[in-house]
Amino acid sequence: MELRRLQYFIVLAEELHFRRAAARLAISQPPLSIAIKQLEEEIGAPLFERSTKLVSLTPVGAAFYPEALRIVAQLDRARSIAQRVASGERGVLRLGFVGGMLLRRMPEFLALHRRAHPEASVILRELSSGEQIRSIRSGELAAGFLHMGGPVEELDHLLMADEDFVACLPSSHPLAGAEIVKVKVLRDERFVMFSREISPGYFDTVISICAREGFSPTISFEVGHWLTAILLVAKGLGVALVPRCFANTGLRGVSFVELKAARTHSLAHFAWKRTSSDPLLLRFVDLVRTTLSSRVNKHLSD
């Protein structure tokens, strides 16, 4: 069953006149006669009753007409959906993120994206950086907010944040009110760390900060989520070294104190597959890039 024949049928069913229908279709009359005949053969029954002076729909033709209309409508719908996905108006954007990104500019990017593409949806998955890299390369994720140790094959990335570390102390801690402390004064504290499995980069960075100051931290807890870590500190169960952005959590019971000469930074990245052609992703990358370069630092709360 060819689509052209359906179009011919629809027009003829509306005109009930071969020559007029042919004119509307911008073809000559004979091919129309032939096409209708072929359609009737395929269905196995006449669709029109012809006399030299009158063309009318048979009951079969009358039943077929609305169905033919639906086919054409469905076809337009399919084309339109595909084109809207292609233009980035519509579609699904799968993004990974490590929890800390919620304290950086990620929510701002999401809000801008929603405003720019109200028909599009976003699926967020909280994953470690390593898992994100795997998922992005396999195509499971379109992009991710993560920490990259160095360049990764196939991935492009943007630097979202370059932050130094601050100490995260319970408010009850004697140093909680200090302006700035040396890392060394924390040598006898017990440390709450992100699990090395989840975030090896963070783990190693903290270890190296301490090592530079001449001690190896005593680890009381290794946790898998940043909220857990901060809460443990708030409960007085340890201290932590965290990127500065965590100072924005607003959680009670914790204080953040500048570290003297930490000299080690936390790099936050936005990364995606270089070869991807997903239009929504391309738009999102543009959005992130232009927003970052415009150096607007306001944070949208949602």
Partner DNA sequence: CATGTTGATACTCTTTATATATCAAATGAG
Partner DNA sequence: CTCATTTGATATATAAAGAGTATCAACATG
Which pair of structure tokens corresponds to residue 41?
């053969």
User: Where does this chain bind DNA (CB under 7 A)?
Assistant: 2, 4-5, 17-19, 26-31, 33-38, 50-53, 55
By CB under 8 A, residue 121 contacts a second copy: no
Rounded Cα gap, residues 125 and 42, in angstroms: 50
By CB under 8 A, residue 86 contacts a second copy: yes
In angstroms, what is the minimal distance from the CB of 173 to DNA? 55
Q: Judged by CB under 8 A, how many residues of this single chain contact a second copy?
A: 39
143-146 and 265-273: which strand pairing? antiparallel
* Terminal Cα-to-Cα distance of the chain (whole angstroms): 52
- Closest C-alpha to 206, from 245, 243, 249, 260: 243
Nearer to a second copy, 9 or 246 (CB): 9
In angstroms, what is the minimal distance from the CB of 274 to DNA? 14
Find which of a second copy, DNA, none residue 45 binds, CB within 5 to 8 Å per kind. Answer: a second copy
Rounded Cα gap, residues 208 and 202, in angstroms: 10
By CB under 8 A, residue 59 contacts a second copy: yes
Which pair of structure tokens corresponds to residue 37?
């005949």
Stretch near a second copy under the rule CB under 8 A, chosen from 62-70, 170-178, 236-244, 294-302: 62-70
Given 19, 30, 31, 83, the residue binding a second copy (CB under 8 A): 83
By CB under 8 A, residue 7 contacts a second copy: no
Stretch near a second copy under the rule CB under 8 A, chosen from 58-66, 188-196, 211-219, 290-298: 58-66
Rounded Cα gap, residues 54 and 70, in angstroms: 26
Give the x-and-dash track for 236-275 against a second copy (CB under 8 A). Answer: ----------------------------------------
In angstroms, what is the minimal distance from the CB of 10 to DNA? 14
| Chain residues that interact with a second copy, rule: CB under 8 A | 1-4, 42-47, 49, 56, 58-60, 63-64, 67-68, 70-71, 74-75, 77-79, 81-83, 85-86, 90-92, 139, 277-280
